[in-house]
């Protein structure tokens, strides 16, 4: 198993509290190096969970998907940068001014802002339900262009959109893809999915995978199998 395969894989620790998080980390051992802290865990535990994960040596992706007026988004991004996280998220639907304001708060922290496009739980019908009648791929491309033109160099999208984004932007973008499921795995609420190997071959920089690991009988074995699949892609 190569170290670079392990570093392309981010485990989404969508856990209810710190103690269940630490139990899961004990079971995962050295099989993961990146942890995603999302809304559930951060709302329960606050910034202390991020500080503890950083102290334990993990790289941290804080996925709170900021979407607010420009000043509020900017100050939230500044707080994330002060916490020392490696990546954080904004919704590109927040618009040009919000994206630029958020980007301006990164400073010299080295943190990467990822712009969320169309959630991977959306299919075409759900997109139409919020009033967007273009194909999902067009909406993703439109939001990525808006992000790019306002300074964003990181994107969250489904693996299905990778080919067109790589064809347009080459390696200029760091592209993080949730919506990843091992072959035959339960999709849950995810709609636009690929396997780990397919997503890597399509050009993902990082894969975010949660329940296939956190819900596995042996999370370490599940994480190692995904890393092997990434390495062999």
Ligand X SMILES: O=c1ccn([C@@H]2O[C@H](COP(=O)(O)O)[C@@H](O)[C@H]2O)c(=O)[nH]1
Q: Which of 6, 8, 63, 74 is catalytic?
A: 63
Contact between 208 and ligand X by CB under 6 A: the answer reads yes
Annotated active-site residue 108? The verdict is no
List the one residue out of 67, 88, 63, 91 whose CA is nearest residue 78.
Answer: 88
List the one residue out of 209, 154, 204 whose CA is nearest residue 179.
Answer: 209
Q: Cα 53 to chain center, whole Å?
A: 17
Annotated active-site residue 68? The verdict is yes
Q: Are strands 174-177 and 34-37 parallel, antiparallel or unpaired?
A: unpaired
Residue 108 beta carbon to ligand X: minimum distance, rounded to whole angstroms:
27
Contact between 27 and ligand X by CB under 6 A: the answer reads no
Contact between 88 and ligand X by CB under 6 A: the answer reads no
Q: Are strands 59-66 and 87-91 parallel, antiparallel or unpaired?
A: parallel
Q: Which of residues 35-74 bind ligand X (CB under 6 A)?
A: 36, 38
Q: Which of residues 119-138 bind ligand X (CB under 6 A)?
A: 119-120
Read off φ and ψ for residue 132, nearest 5 degrees. Answer: -105, 115
Measured CA to CA, the distance from residue 156 to residue 152 in angstroms comes to: 11
Q: Which of 68, 86, 97, 123 is catalytic?
A: 68
Which of 41, 209, 224, 230 is in the footprint of ligand X by CB under 6 A? Answer: 209
Measured CA to CA, the distance from residue 193 to residue 184 in angstroms comes to: 11
Part in contact with ligand X (CB under 6 A); list of ranges 43-51, 144-152, 203-211, 224-232: 203-211
64 in helix, strand or coil?
Answer: strand
Measured CA to CA, the distance from residue 233 to residue 3 in angstroms comes to: 14
How big is the chain, counted in residues? 233
Contact between 15 and ligand X by CB under 6 A: the answer reads no
Contact between 216 and ligand X by CB under 6 A: the answer reads no
Residue 93 beta carbon to ligand X: minimum distance, rounded to whole angstroms:
12
Residue 5 beta carbon to ligand X: minimum distance, rounded to whole angstroms:
18
Beta strands in 92-141 (DSSP E): 112-116
Measured CA to CA, the distance from residue 170 to residue 150 in angstroms comes to: 18
Contact between 223 and ligand X by CB under 6 A: the answer reads no
Measured CA to CA, the distance from residue 156 to residue 27 in angstroms comes to: 28
Annotated active-site residue 171? The verdict is no
Does the annotation place 54 within a ligand binding site?
A: no
Residue 140 beta carbon to ligand X: minimum distance, rounded to whole angstroms:
10
Question: What are the binding residues?
Answer: 14, 36, 63-72, 120, 181, 190, 210-211
Give the footprint of ligand X on this chain (CB under 6 A): 12, 14, 36, 38, 116, 119-120, 156, 178-179, 188, 190, 208-211
Catalytic site positions: 63, 65, 68
Binding-site residue set for substrate:
14, 36, 63-72, 120, 181, 190, 210-211
């Amino acid at each position: 198993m190569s170290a670079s395969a392990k570093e392309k894989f981010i485990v989404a620790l969508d856990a209810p509290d710190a103690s269940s998080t630490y139990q899961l980390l004990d079971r995962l051992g050295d099989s993961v190096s990146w942890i995603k802290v999302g809304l559930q865990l951060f709302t329960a535990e606050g910034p202390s969970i991020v500080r503890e994960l950083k102290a334990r040596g993990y790289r941290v992706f804080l996925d709170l998907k900021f979407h607010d007026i420009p000043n509020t988004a900017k100050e939230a991004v500044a707080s994330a940068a002060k916490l020392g996280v490696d990546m954080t998220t904004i919704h590109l639907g927040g618009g040009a001014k919000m994206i630029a304001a958020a980007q301006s708060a990164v400073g010299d922290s080295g943190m990467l802002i990822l712009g969320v496009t169309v959630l991977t739980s959306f299919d075409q019908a759900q997109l139409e339900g919020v009033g967007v009648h273009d194909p999902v791929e067009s909406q993703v491309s439109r939001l990525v262009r808006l992000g790019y033109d306002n300074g964003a160099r990181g994107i969250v999208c489904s693996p299905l959109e990778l080919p067109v984004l790589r064809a347009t932007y080459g390696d200029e973008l760091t592209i993080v893809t949730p919506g990843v499921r091992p072959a035959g795995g339960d999709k849950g609420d995810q709609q636009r999915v690929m396997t780990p190997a397919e997503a890597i071959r399509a050009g993902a920089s990082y894969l975010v995978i949660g329940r296939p690991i956190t819900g596995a009988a042996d999370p370490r074995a599940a994480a190692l199998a995904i890393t092997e699949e990434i390495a062999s892609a």
